[in-house]
Structure 1
Amino acid sequence: MDRSRPLSCPRRLLPTLGASYFLFGTSSLALIGLLDAMAAAWQVTPARIAELVAVHSLTFALAAPLLQMLCGHRPRRELICGGLMLLGLGALATVLAPDWSAGLAARVLMALGAAAIGPAASAEGAARVEPQRQARALATVFAGMTLAIVLGTPLAAWLGQTLSWRAIFVLLAVAAPLLGGLLWRSLGSASSGQRITREGFARTLERPATAWALLMMMLLMAGQFCGYTLLVPLMTRRFGLGEADMTGVLMLFGLGGVVGNLLAGRLGSRLGPVRLIGLSIAGLVLAFGGLALAPRLPALGLALMLLWSVTGLLFAAPQQQRLIQLAPASLRSLALAANASAMYLGMSLGAWTGARLCGLAGVEALMPASLLLTLLGALALQRSLQAQRDEDSAGCTRRLNAGAGTASAALGGATTPKVWVQ
């Protein structure tokens, strides 16, 4: 049983939980603005550095549900604060890494910390408010990831140009334990999740509506990260923007994400999670299709990129809300962990696909691939909704049959005449 209790000031706690999302989001995305600087320092190609984004995401995807099974019953502040300590150690290891291989080990350590933080922070945010406020609470917590895009990635690019790429990881190594100490005091020890078993994990995945929803998350994130990991070469080579413009471009992309996240919080209760996810997918299809076919005009490229950024994170909070509605109370933390895994598995798949496509066919191949992955995500959403309708219909039929059987038995016992056979 979830023993979490409301805080006296949840408005202050939710942004603090969002700050933990900001730190691990920045740790995973900072490399996007540091490709050239890190490649030069470790004497590898930028595509090789982009592979570290895929490694981080894949590690997160595998570790998030595993940590929930091993430690999900522990107080959530232990998971969140312990994850922040691991994140800080991984950032310090990145600063000291002499080459790509050592950087790879540091990325794995940071990903393990992030895997402990993400699901626990989302579950804690949802548990601290009433059900009707969960959409806004989840949007507030996930806003940390949006701010990692709007601030973390362009700030990393700027510091990489003006100071050193290692300066970003020094800041992360200092900030992570400080935030951990703050959250340790803010989160009560009574706030904990459920002990998760392999059977519980299987129950989460065996329900078709949930499984298709998780596949949708993976495909939509893959579609975005196929292009986002290589956004700098995409905008410079495809639309002719200069290298000096890239900090501003990354900032513009992040600002669009902030708008999208705010819209998700405001529209979530009005439209409902399904319509909001559909709106997000429609915007992504238009953006990727436009970026693939548009003439090489910088202003047009920026406008389409802004559409992408606004709609790209619009589905994240309603997706979590829908999974909470689909999962029984005892499995909600695991459902959110599986969702985080699907998100980061999609980031890994997208980053790896983008790096390979860019090396083989150039940046022109990125947006068609993103469009294809997004359309497959739309198909997965339709399959999830159909499975949910089938489950609801089957449940309704069983209840009607059970009610009819009970009524028939009652009537039969009361009114059936006895027939004597001579």
Structure 2
Amino acid sequence: MHTPFSAPTRRALRTLSLAYFVQATGALSVVGSLDAISRQWWLADSQSAYLISVFGLTFAFAAPLLQVGFGHLRRRRQVLLGLALFSAAALLFAAAPNYPVLLLSRVLMGLGAGFIGPVLGALGSSLVDRDHQGSAIAVVLLGLSIAGLVGMPLSAWVAHAWGARALFLVAGLTGAGTAALIAWAVPDSSEGEHVKLSTVTALLTRIDTLSAFLVVFLIAAGVYSTYSFIAPIIRDVFHAGAGTVSTSLVVLGVAGVAGNLFVTRAARRYSAETMLLAGLALLAADLVFLWLASPSVRWLFVALTAWAFATDLLWPSQQRRIVELVPQLRGVALALTASFVFCGIGLGSAVAGWIYPALGFAGVIGSSLAFLALATVSLTISRASVAAKAKPVASSNSLQPWGKR
């Protein structure tokens, strides 16, 4: 199979993909092990669920601020620092004597993840030339897809077979091992960025970049307006049990890996904007299909396959577009992208929690479609703003032969 990457570059990208797998699995492992955590520490389910929220909020606010404080460090060093903190926090979780220590450990895991996730894409894209950055980012993000396919079911199995403490012990040790692999396989050649708080403010106040960040915020809100209630939907609409929920997650994982492999190749031929528009259109069509199709498990699996494929078009393409938009600030820009993703997930989940009890399946589908429509509008605004900024440059170049008047 033809590949644009040399053997050492492929090894480095796959190692970074493993780091994404470890971070994503550790971040989401509470979801699959909620019951085990509640039993281990005698907690109410609401207390255990808060361990998910505190991680997400910490990550969302820390990711850009960490780039301000530590973005000047080489990117590999940032990832290693993040993995060290993430792994130590997971071990603290495993040894936690009470709920306050559990909360502290999740805050520290969120801080570590704030170093890891946003920097991995920037580090991976820096290892290749511009024409292959989309493919490199897709390879790195494959770890995120595999986390959904393998990491979530495996973490749930470990927690229920050996307990939640064992799960986070494994997470901590795996993180430390991944850090050692990165130190061996990934070149320490990617310079960091000297990021000022004013730079973050500027990115958030420029129309082209703010609208680009809002694209992923609204996509995440649209996805999670329905996805966060996938288990109740399967129970209430498709009249299926817990076994179907597990099978559905496996279907999403398998289709997600297949979609990621497709995107790795398609990114060499199509622009990030084209891929984003295609993903938005496919996801919207799939939501309408899910809504209108007869409530059978067969059609559910068809819809989930298209769902995973569509989201795999969206996530890498958004990161690629951000890198192309502000290549000199890719680290802080990707950190802000990750923050907007987590904020979008929070908004989408909150909207679903309000709408589903009142309006049911049709309500959450409608809210998802509304968010996706707003994402399309935001992408259009961002494209127009980028084009408008390019016009004065082109006009200036066209006037050069006339000389100075």
What value does the CA root-mean-square deviation take over the aligned residues?
2.6
Superposition TM-score, scaled by structure 2 size: 0.90
Is 1:332 aligned to 2:330, yes or no? Answer: yes
Equivalent position of 1:413 in the other structure: none
Q: Secondary structure at the match of 1:313?
A: helix
CA deviations on 1:218-277 (whole Å, 9 max, x unpaired) are 111122223333433332332122213333221111111112211211111212111111
Equivalent position of 2:403 in the other structure: 407
In structure 1, how many angstroms separate the alpha carbons of the residues matched to 2:368 and 2:163? 32
Equivalent position of 1:373 in the other structure: 371
Q: Which has the larger radius of gyration?
A: 1
Equivalent position of 1:66 in the other structure: 65
* Structure 1 pair 295–243 and aligned structure 2 pair: CA distance change class (3 A): same
Q: Is the 8 A contact 1:264 1:315 kept in 2?
A: no
Equivalent position of 2:124 in the other structure: 125
Which amino acid is the alignment partner of residue 77 of structure 2?
E
Which amino acid is the alignment partner of residue 146 of structure 2?
L
1:85 Cα offset (Å): 1.4
Equivalent position of 1:416 in the other structure: none
After superposition, where does 1:7-406 map in structure 2 within 5 Å? 9-39=8-38, 41=40, 46=45, 49-97=48-96, 101-327=100-326, 329-357=327-355, 365-401=363-399, 403=400, 406=402
1:72 Cα offset (Å): 0.8
Q: Percent identity?
A: 29
In structure 2, how many angstroms separate the alpha carbons of the residues matched to 1:376 and 1:86? 37
Q: Secondary structure at the match of 1:74?
A: coil
Q: Secondary structure at the match of 2:112?
A: helix
CA deviations on 1:263-308 (whole Å, 9 max, x unpaired) are 2111112121111111111121122233344432221122112211
Q: Is the 8 A contact 2:15 2:185 kept in 1?
A: no
Q: Secondary structure at the match of 1:314?
A: helix
Superposition TM-score, scaled by structure 1 size: 0.86
Q: Is the 8 A contact 1:51 1:351 kept in 2?
A: no
Extract unaligned runs of 5+ from structure 1.
1-5, 410-422
Which amino acid is the alignment partner of residue 80 of structure 2?
C
Number of corresponding residues: 401
* Structure 1 pair 136–77 and aligned structure 2 pair: CA distance change class (3 A): same
Q: Secondary structure at the match of 1:209?
A: helix
Equivalent position of 1:420 in the other structure: none
Q: Secondary structure at the match of 1:315?
A: helix
1:369 Cα offset (Å): 2.5
In structure 2, how many angstroms separate the alpha carbons of the residues matched to 1:215 and 1:252? 29
Which amino acid is the alignment partner of residue 276 of structure 2?
I
1:193 Cα offset (Å): 1.1
Which amino acid is the alignment partner of residue 90 of structure 2?
A
Which amino acid is the alignment partner of residue 158 of structure 1?
W
* Structure 1 pair 230–300 and aligned structure 2 pair: CA distance change class (3 A): same
CA deviations on 1:160-188 (whole Å, 9 max, x unpaired) are 44443443322111100111122123344
CA deviations on 1:37-58 (whole Å, 9 max, x unpaired) are 4455556665664454333222
In structure 1, how many angstroms separate the alpha carbons of the residues matched to 2:179 and 2:269? 35
Q: Is the 8 A contact 1:59 1:111 kept in 2?
A: yes
Moved more, 276-285 or 356-365: 356-365
